Amino acid sequence: MNKLFSLIFVVLLTINAYSKTYSYSFEGVIELNEITNFEKECAKIKFIKKVKIKYKPDSQKGEIIIITEDFPKGQRQEGKDSFQPTEVKKFILSKGLTPLNFREIKN
C-alpha cells in the first residue's frame, strides 16, 4: 500500500513539474457574461491545460492566465510542437481585443 501511494505521489508531482504559467494582458471591451466562453475557447489552444481570465470593465483591461503542458528539458523531441504564445495573440485579436504584454509567471 505504501509503495502504491508513493508511486501515485511521484506521478502527480512529475505531471505538475512540467507545466508552466503565463500571463497575457489585453485591452478592449468584452461582456462580462462572455468571459466563461472566452476561457473555454482559449483552453482549446494546443498545449493549454487551464485558462482563467481576469477583466476590469472600468479600465477595459484584462489578463489571461494560462497554464500549459510542456515537455521537460531533454525530453523535447525535434520536430515536436510546444506551446506558442502567438496562438493566444491570434485568439485575443480574433475577439476584437488588443494584446499587450506576454510574460511567464514564475511558480
pLDDT in tens, 26-47: 999 999 899 999 999 999 998 8
pLDDT at 66 exceeding the cut of 50: yes
Kindly state the helix (H) or strand (E) to which residue 27 belongs, with its residue range: strand 19-27
Q: How large is the greatest C-alpha to C-alpha distance in the chain, in angstroms?
A: 54
The set of cell numbers assigned to 71 is 515537455
Fold topology of 18-72+82-105: Alpha-Beta Plaits (3.30.70)
pLDDT category of residue 3 using cuts at 50, 70 and 90: low
Q: pTM to 2 decimals?
A: 0.74
Indicate the domain borders of the chain: 18-72+82-105
Res 72 pLDDT > 70: no
**pLDDT score at 18:** 74
Angle subtended by helix axes 85-94 and 35-42, to nearest 10: 150
Model confidence at 84: pLDDT above 50: yes
